[in-house]
Chains A and B, each alone.
Chain A
């Protein structure tokens, strides 16, 4: 008898899991935003932070009455840092949950599988994945209003050659999807600034000991080390470099100076010469001149964020919030008249594509049929560290 029950249960799991029945599409009592991020697995940090920023903004919008009186409804699925799960979750959101718009918040190829899906199913999608390489591969339905490696490389390289007079430097790059951006772009762009890379070293996201790599760099002719990584090991690279007695200037990328990294490695960042990094204006908004229009913008966001979370926001949290603002703006302008999901999706897509001069936290965005990245101006800054604070270098 017990065995028959088990058999029935097993069959039930098999069937229920595999053959979920369609939910009926609801009338527009709310605008449904489907979200696929990593809550577990390698990218859980990014995903969780992205969600925090996003949720903050959603609550903000709903608290003010929603968009044209209609609230935002968010459905969040965990992609477990796996491409197959990301695809499945996205499909479910599109077909069963009938969302009007999709957000994908994982910075690697894991989210890219959603691009063809979005284009074929006709769902406006805002993704975090991908890099500047993919201009023409986003398709008609996918948007990416975020910064790209293009931006911060230009800023860094410019600073290095103009302010520091560097002509030869070494790269210390993470073996990951994120690091690959650096691996590809840095050699490409450096000659434009009159610089060459004389030493290339790599590290793994989970490594404990970077002394072999750092020693090689020390023995080379490099005048500066460009660290490119998003895992804590990147922060450790700075720590170990200083402990090894390397006193070359070090240039880092935004993920390395996020609040949690500073908490662990801030001290090492200050050891002479203090770390240099590109980051967003949000991190040093207090030091911006009053004439900078991003100052007020960032202040408002940071205060909003800190009211709820008690610590400064990071890049990912900021992007999460920014994506909601982008969608909110699209929804406002879309003049959505029907309750049919397909129509709403199409109207929203058109509205998103005609986004013009939208002031977001990282830049102004203007989308067009040819450009779904839409970034109009570059707002990254160079910072360094002193006395426990991040210091803006204008």
Chain B
């Protein structure tokens, strides 16, 4: 593989990796606070993309469209928690996972009703043109994807690691009883985590629409990929999710260029499986606390 080809693959991997990481972070936020595996995370992404397109085509400038989309999706996330997750709070984890699945069907059906089956696309943010770098091309939207994902990661780290609320959020999952004793309302924290995940998902949706277009049914396949990426690194640690996302993205980019036919689609998850199995709980989670 020549240098420029390798560079191209590298950027492709960064692009994909950012998307998977961003997806995985949505899972992480909800899981780390509530221990719920939210399969509807992909629907938040879809809603973010679709809503942004709708507002944008109405003539609203792009930043405002995205902001509106994020707000509405956040509300959907809040409603989801309040009316579906909260009532089921004493149910088993498996039941909760399937509640999120049922919810994703509802959202998908509504999206089909509202927007139809057609794909929607957005122009690259600020119409950024492609960049040529040492023989490799970076598409205009890619710096946005990488950049904004980076911002989200830094933001989450700061929030969860440094701020009081962030630490409170983590406490809820790790030590629910202790958290309550400290006067932390677990329900409010959980609600907030859903809103945050929904908002993050919506941003991701707006980000990837110029690249991959949105349609009403993209939610579940995205959720599956985000889930795998999150698991590889260890869903209980943010660093794990990030590492997992980029590893998955890189593997996909490399195998897409190198392995013929559809086999690369089989190889990428296979490599993930091998990684899973070789490390007990995911790459970064050490035995004990997660």
Residues of A in contact with B (beta carbons under 8 Å apart) = 40-42, 44-45, 48, 175, 183, 200-204, 206-209, 211-213, 215-216, 219, 232, 236, 240, 243-245, 260, 264
Contact = CB atoms under 8 A, between A and B. Distances in A.
B260 interface: yes
B8 A175 contact: no
A232 B218 CA distance: 13
Interface in B196-219: 208, 211-213, 216-218
9 contacts: A40-B109, A44-B216, A200-B260, A201-B260, A208-B16, A209-B15, A212-B256, A219-B2, A243-B137
Contacts of B218: 206
B217 A260 contact: no
Contacts of A240: 139
Interface stretch (B115-123, B148-156, B157-165, B269-277): B115-123
A208 to B, nearest CB: 4
Contacts of A42: 217
B286 interface: no
* Most-contacted residue by chain B among A202, A212, A245, A260 (CB, 10 A): A212
B5 interface: yes
Given A42-B217, A232-B213, A245-B137, A260 B119 contact: yes
Contacts of B213: 232, 236, 264
Nearest to B14: A209
B66 to A, nearest CB: 18
* Most-contacted residue by chain A among B11, B117, B217, B258 (CB, 10 A): B117
A40 B119 contact: no
Given A200-B260, A208-B211, A41 B217 contact: yes
A208 B11 contact: no
A213 B16 CA distance: 15
Nearest to A244: B137
A240 B213 CA distance: 14
- B: contact size bracket: 35 or more
B242 interface: no
A319 to B, nearest CB: 17
Contacts of A213: 256-257
Contact of A211 (B2, B12, B121, B261): B12
Given A206-B212, A212-B9, A260-B118, A243 B130 contact: yes
Contact of B11 (A211, A216, A243): A211
A310 to B, nearest CB: 14
B222 to A, nearest CB: 9
A232 B217 contact: no
A208 B19 contact: yes
Contacts of A204: 262, 265
Given A40-B112, A44-B217, A211 B260 contact: no
A209 B116 contact: no
Contact of B257 (A44, A48, A212, A236): A212
Nearest to B216: A44
B15 A48 contact: no
A183 B262 CA distance: 11
* Secondary structure class of chain B's binding surface, majority of residues: helix
B15 A264 contact: no
Interface string B113-150: 00011110100000000101000110100000000000
A240 B12 CA distance: 12
B262 A40 contact: no
Q: Which 3 residue pairs of A and B lie closest in terms of their CB atoms, listed nearest first?
A: A212-B257, A208-B212, A175-B262
A183 B130 CA distance: 31
Nearest to B258: A212
Given A216-B257, A264-B121, 8 more contacts: A40-B217, A45-B118, A45-B119, A175-B262, A209-B15, A209-B253, A212-B253, A232-B213
Given A202-B261, A206-B212, A212 B116 contact: no
A206 to B, nearest CB: 6
B260 A202 contact: yes
A369 to B, nearest CB: 38
Contacts of A183: 261
Contacts of B9: 211-212, 215
A175 B260 CA distance: 11
B178 interface: no
Interface string B93-122: 000000000000000110010001111010
A201 B253 CA distance: 13
Nearest to A203: B256
B63 interface: no
B265 A209 contact: no
A41 B216 CA distance: 9
Nearest to B249: A209
Contacts of B253: 209, 212
B61 interface: no
Given A215-B5, A216-B257, A264-B121, A206 B137 contact: no
A261 to B, nearest CB: 9
B290 interface: no
A268 to B, nearest CB: 11
B8 A44 contact: no
Contacts of B260: 200-202
Given A44-B112, A212-B256, A175 B261 contact: yes
* Most-contacted residue by chain A among B121, B262, B264 (CB, 10 A): B262
Nearest to A214: B8
Contacts of B217: 40-42, 44
B214 to A, nearest CB: 10
A182 B94 CA distance: 42
A243 B262 CA distance: 25
Contacts of A44: 112, 117, 216-217
B116 A48 contact: yes
Contacts of B109: 40
Contacts of B256: 203, 207, 212-213
A243 B139 contact: yes
A232 B119 contact: yes
